[in-house]
Structure 1
Amino acid sequence: MSALISQLKDLLGPHGYLEGADAEAKAQSGWSHLGTPPIVLRPASTEEVSKVLTLCHEAGQPIVAWGGLTGLVESANVGHGELALSLERMHAIEEVDEIAGTATVQAGAILQTVQEDIEKHHLILPLDLGARGSATIGGNIATNAGGNRVIRYGMMRDMVLGLEVVLADGTVLSSLGKMIKDNAGYDLKQLFIGSEGTLGVVTRAVLRLRRKPDSQDTAFIAVDEFSKLPKLLDHMDRKLAGTLSAFECLWNDFYRLLTTEPATHTPPLAQDQPYYVLIEAMGAQQEQDTSRFEAALEEAFEKELIVDAVLAKNQSERDKMWAIRDDVGQVAQNWPIFTFDVSLPVKDMEAYVSETKARLTETYPDHTAMIFGHLGDGNLHVIVGVGDDSVQARRGVEACVYEPLRSRGGSVSAEHGVGLEKRPYLLVTRTPEEIATMRAIKKALDPKGILNPGKIFEAQPLKSAAE
């Protein structure tokens, strides 16, 4: 491997790599240690990424692409002898086309930076999530990120018009089309969106933007029965004429955690209801949209769908409401914890949560279970603490959370991906035939298995350059 690393250093120059303590520091993420690679490669262009992968492919050297390192399923972990490829130096926003509503962006650009730059053009990139300040566009694409506005704008997949990807052997696949409609053959970019860096390395993307809304209305709502939540969602969606952009639900335990010391948030509503919902609508005319929003809430009161509500009167109050929802880090109070990201039909959620909690109580009577999520798109986040972070405890908790999904047609991963963490449970969600097809695609695009080996499903035996 030493000869290969020398070649890579010469290729990238003194600013193009990190070693030793610098590589160790880079491997620290907000939630876990990713493992320290022998070197972190930092190419500055697609051409350099291509040359890096060409050399690694020739040597049979496994390599793991890194974005903002905000993932939660061990998809960016490096194992023995694996190199890391960081896209952090490729962060340019190359073009914003106001007329077409597109942006051409390099993969290492930070999501929040892109959002803020695009808003200067009276446009928005609809993707939004709590890790916006660290997550990168390339990582968002590789994981098909979801976030807070999926109910209206869809997943990251729905915002990608074109991609530039470097394949395992260094081939540059550049398809940076800007058209919404393009049915000329296979839509190859779809292979790489959500592939977690196992099929190719995303270097640039053309993103579909939307016009910046001129109005925004936000409310925090208390609901006393789960059965009323889907009815409230349907009611608000119909009454708001297509402007509903967020419907975030917090179970009582989670709401209490976020609005009780040592958390710094003041509860906008009393803490005595089982469910809380953050609702937001984005439209075109503030006065008319606010009137419609308030009328919809009043009607929901009359229908007894909600028991209490508070409306944000300005941007500061809106920011405080969202700050509560985004402060997921408070779950660290229950450390050690296991995090889960599941999806299932909304109609099955109440029974699923009840069964999951019953399973947890039977094995771990003193457990904590923080539940919240993007109810409008069927996504729940479940964060469990049992006072033990051993492998045995993890497997026990995973069985409690994942097995109830099987009979309900749910998914073990709504938006975070599979990585290493959910790999043993892929069969809960995918059939053997589907997994075999995934393997065939992997074999065709990465015949030596050097790209993020072992993620999503077990890697085939591979000899690295270190052996």
Structure 2
Amino acid sequence: MRMTSRPEHLLIEHLGAQLVTVGEEIPERARHDWSGQQPVCPLAWIRPRSTEEVSAVLRICNELRLAVVPQGGLTGLAGGAHPVAGCVALSLERMNGIEEIDPAMATMTVGAGVVLEAAQAAAEAAGLFLALDLGARGSCTIGGVLATNAGGNRVIRYGMAREHVLGVEVVLADGTVVTSLNKMLKNNAGYDSKQLFVGSEGTLGVITRAVLRLQPRPTFSTCALCGCRDFAAAMALLAAARSGLGPSLTAFEVMWPSFYHFMGEKLPSLPQPLAGRHGIYVLIEVSGFDAEREAERLEALLAKGLEAGDVEDAVVAASGRDVAAFWAIRESVSEYSKVIGKVAAFDVGLPAHATGQVVERLEAGAVQRWPDAIALSYGHVGDSNLHFVANVPSAGAEQPSAEISAFVYETVRSSGGTISAEHGIGTLKRQYLPYTRSPSELDLMRRIKSALDPNGILNPGKVLEWPPEPEAGTR
């Protein structure tokens, strides 16, 4: 296709004004994600309604060498859906159909634009359970959740997003449609190509439809909030919970005092069910099919913890309202913009035995470098996932984000951890990817990228430097 006019005009000519929005008509929400970067107005905002239209978009953009940034619910925190200058923002929001729920196979077939909460509700209405869950459930979409291999609250029991998907339909950079909407739990025929695209952040292809694995819906669920002596006590409680609760253990969330007390003081409406102050706080969720037995197991676990001195105080939810109140403490992270302002937020993975020491190093190191720093720690520690956020009040709007990042990621690297546990790489972590992946792993990633997207149009600048920087001496 010859570039005889402006590329946005060619897009409108070939795709139609119903799909393509340009200029000032592009809404503000399409110009940024949740990563906190400065908004960028894309060249065009395209909202296809079908896989065929996605194919047409990518085919034209590939011919024109136009960058394409796939967008879902725009709730990503690493910049994976953030537009780049001169790009086409490809929104999948119109592809929001729940096509089928198959009770016999325990599967759900959905479009990439389906909001996670809507998929959860549809599964529940069918008497089944979509176990994938995260705080942005009301905004994030299935396509984005799979593209980032999101984690969330129930990973300890059900696994990351890739464990919830049986098949996908994907459009490649040149417009080729690869449909593999497998429903079978066992299908060992050749390469499992869907796993190339789950977690690839839209750099290898655009997920348009997916088959999700559903579970039997638990008939009972409750939780307990515990005040523990210290991190070692919390780890002892985790080991006891795994052996004593088995598959009933669906969440094990840990909150350090820095987070628990700070948010409690800043948000007086948050419940305060525990008396006094404790070395660390744990939220345990259990679910199952025998309410009496599951409740007894939880109470026995807590009784043993209290007897051993690992648990200093504990409160078990007496109602659904209590469950929601306990989770509200952990999910108060959504209020950061109100109580702190701009934060440097980190999602890292660490060996369980090292997590307590790493938190001490991060919190003490932040204050040593920036004396008025606010440093908060919490996370899905049952999944080896730590979240750390920092803010330097004296810096105002000009937060030292780059310096904080370098400090945090170097600390994580030296402890044998990973720079990303569940949020992906996007643009914000790209330069630190070698901290986590070996040169041979990075080379393999580049080979795959080169094979599937030789023109580099899909989400450029995300995950990998593309095209790769020449090695020293080859310039």
TM category, shorter: over 0.9
Judging changes above 3 Å, is the alpha-carbon distance between structure 1 residues 402 and 443 closer, same or farther for their aligned structure 2 residues? Answer: same
Between 51-60 and 406-415, the greater mean CA deviation after superposition:
406-415
Q: Find the residue that maps to 1:307 and give its secondary structure.
A: strand
**Unpaired stretches in structure 1, ≥5 consecutive residues:** 463-467
Partner of 1:239: 244
Partner of 1:465: none
8 Å CA contact 1:263–1:330 kept in 2: the answer is no
Q: Please tell me whether residue 264 in structure 1 is matched to residue 252 in structure 2.
A: no
CA–CA distance in 1 between the matches of 2:316 and 2:462?
44
**Unpaired stretches in structure 2, ≥5 consecutive residues:** 470-475
Q: Please tell me whether residue 355 in structure 1 is matched to residue 358 in structure 2.
A: no
8 Å CA contact 2:43–2:85 kept in 1: the answer is no
Partner of 1:422: 429
8 Å CA contact 1:252–1:273 kept in 2: the answer is yes
Q: Please tell me whether residue 16 in structure 1 is matched to residue 23 in structure 2.
A: no
Judging changes above 3 Å, is the alpha-carbon distance between structure 1 residues 73 and 31 closer, same or farther for their aligned structure 2 residues? Answer: closer
Residue in structure 2 matching 1:124, options 125, 129, 145: 129
Q: How does 1:279-298 map to 2 (within 5 A)?
A: 279-298=284-303
Partner of 2:342: 336
Partner of 2:282: 277
* TM-score using structure 1 length: 0.95
Residue in structure 1 matching 2:387, options 381, 392, 396: 381
Shift in Å at residue 461 of structure 1?
8.1
CA–CA distance in 1 between the matches of 2:336 and 2:145?
23
Partner of 1:39: 44
Partner of 2:373: 367
8 Å CA contact 2:33–2:81 kept in 1: the answer is no
Q: Find the residue that maps to 1:241 and give its secondary structure.
A: helix
Judging changes above 3 Å, is the alpha-carbon distance between structure 1 residues 392 and 306 closer, same or farther for their aligned structure 2 residues? Answer: closer
Between 439-448 and 70-79, the greater mean CA deviation after superposition:
70-79
Q: How does 1:146-157 map to 2 (within 5 A)?
A: 146-157=151-162
Q: Find the residue that maps to 2:323 and give its secondary structure.
A: helix
CA deviation profile, 1:166-207 (whole Å, cap 9, x unmatched): 000000011001111111111000100000000000000000
Q: Find the residue that maps to 2:26 and give its secondary structure.
A: helix
CA–CA distance in 2 between the matches of 1:428 and 1:389?
30
Q: 1:203 is aligned with what amino acid?
A: T
Partner of 2:7: 4
Q: Please tell me whether residue 207 in structure 1 is matched to residue 226 in structure 2.
A: no
Q: Find the residue that maps to 1:336 and give its secondary structure.
A: coil
Shift in Å at residue 23 of structure 1?
1.7
Q: 1:227 is aligned with what amino acid?
A: A
Q: 2:275 is aligned with what amino acid?
A: A
Q: Percent identity?
A: 46
Q: Figure out how many residues of one structure are paired with residues of the other and give that number.
A: 462
8 Å CA contact 1:165–1:204 kept in 2: the answer is yes
Partner of 1:71: 76
CA–CA distance in 1 between the matches of 2:236 and 2:328?
26
Judging changes above 3 Å, is the alpha-carbon distance between structure 1 residues 227 and 399 closer, same or farther for their aligned structure 2 residues? Answer: same
Partner of 1:221: 226
8 Å CA contact 1:34–1:76 kept in 2: the answer is no
* TM-score using structure 2 length: 0.93
Q: Please tell me whether residue 190 in structure 1 is matched to residue 203 in structure 2.
A: no
Partner of 1:161: 166
CA–CA distance in 2 between the matches of 1:126 and 1:393?
38
CA deviation profile, 1:85-119 (whole Å, cap 9, x unmatched): 00000001100011111000100000001001110
Partner of 1:96: 101
Shift in Å at residue 263 of structure 1?
4.9
Q: 1:37 is aligned with what amino acid?
A: P
CA deviation profile, 1:377-422 (whole Å, cap 9, x unmatched): 1000000112337888222111221112223220000000001100
CA deviation profile, 1:354-380 (whole Å, cap 9, x unmatched): 222233233111111111100101000
Between 189-198 and 398-407, the greater mean CA deviation after superposition:
398-407
